[in-house]
Amino acid sequence: MKKTTVFLFLLSSIFLVGYFALTTYSEKIYQNTLLSSPKKMVEAPINKETVSDSIAQSFPKPNFPNDSLLINHLLGKFDYSKDSFFTSVATEHCSKPMYLQKETYKKFKEMYAAAKKDGVSLKIISGTRNFNEQKSIWERKWNTNIKTMDSLKAAKTILLYSSMPTTSRHHWGTDMDINSLENSYFASGQGLKEYTWLKKNAAKFGFCQVYTDKKNSDRTGYEMEKWHWSYIPISSHYLKKYEELITYKQVKGFQASELAPKLKSIEDYVNGIDKSCH
């Protein structure tokens, strides 16, 4: 009996030693495979959220109005010339009298000065537009289109490049059109130089091209606008608040406003911006 017990003990010991030796050897092989693999499996994936949020996170958080005033900003139903968050733009920076949010304008002036040093001239040709100004643009185009188009086609044609009142980012004082309203202008010569500079440098000052080429992204809504730039530290907050505070019941007061839900003016147009500008 004792001989049998001793024999079984020795056999178990041999088995355990062999098991641990084989496990250690296998682990070394696995680690060597990881180190030699061209895919470098141990590397962490890129955090796309961090990339897309980088513009807003690079700047101090601005002061924002309370929700009551903010709703008026979002819908364009206020007098920006009397609003404490807004300021007039100096003539050297614009092609006509206009207003922007104070922080937006401050950062534009910094960008303007940097561009000038590089031989690039930036001129704002459209800044803040309130509800009535946007209504005037919309209804002028509507009255022209409806003569030859059905209502949906008339509205969709306007929405290629112009917003319904109450849904325009130009209400917010964060967005501006720079130098030209034609994509072709930025395709060559001085326009190409300006656009190339903006693409390379605008983010340093908090600005982003919100309406990029839809062919290269899953963006919805308006067509590409190389001229339209937005100050993201403020506009990203306004966009989130728009989703929180505004419904189709507030999209009203202009011709064809009843078409807004069918056209998905909020889902596809207000939210139809480049992901890097959120």
Specify the amino acid at residue 260. A
Report the candidate in 128, 126, 160 with the shortest Cα–Cα distance to residue 141.
160
Q: How far apart are CA 48 and CA 107, in angstroms?
A: 26
Residues ≥6 apart with Cβ < 8 Å to 7: none
Strand extents, DSSP E, the chain:
86-88, 99-101, 124-126, 175-178, 207-209, 228-231
Residues ≥6 apart with Cβ < 8 Å to 136: none
Residue with tokens 């929405």: 159
Partners of 124 in the β-ladder: 94, 178
pLDDT tens, N- to C-terminus, the chain (278 residues):
544 444 444 445 444 444 444 444 444 433 443 333 333 333 333 343 433 466 878 898 899 999 999 999 999 999 999 999 999 999 999 999 999 999 999 999 999 999 999 999 999 999 999 999 999 999 999 999 999 999 999 999 999 999 999 999 999 999 999 999 999 999 999 999 999 999 999 999 999 999 999 998 889 999 999 999 999 999 999 999 999 999 999 999 999 999 999 999 999 999 999 999 98
| In the chain, where the domains are located | 1-43, 48-277
Q: Among the CATH numbers 3.30.70.260, 3.40.50.2300, 3.30.1380.10, 2.60.40.60, which is that of 48-277?
A: 3.30.1380.10
Specify the amino acid at residue 18. G
Q: Which helix (H) or strand (E) holds 113?
A: helix 102-117
Q: How far apart are CA 167 and CA 76, in angstroms?
A: 8
Q: How far apart are CA 111 and CA 260, in angstroms?
A: 36
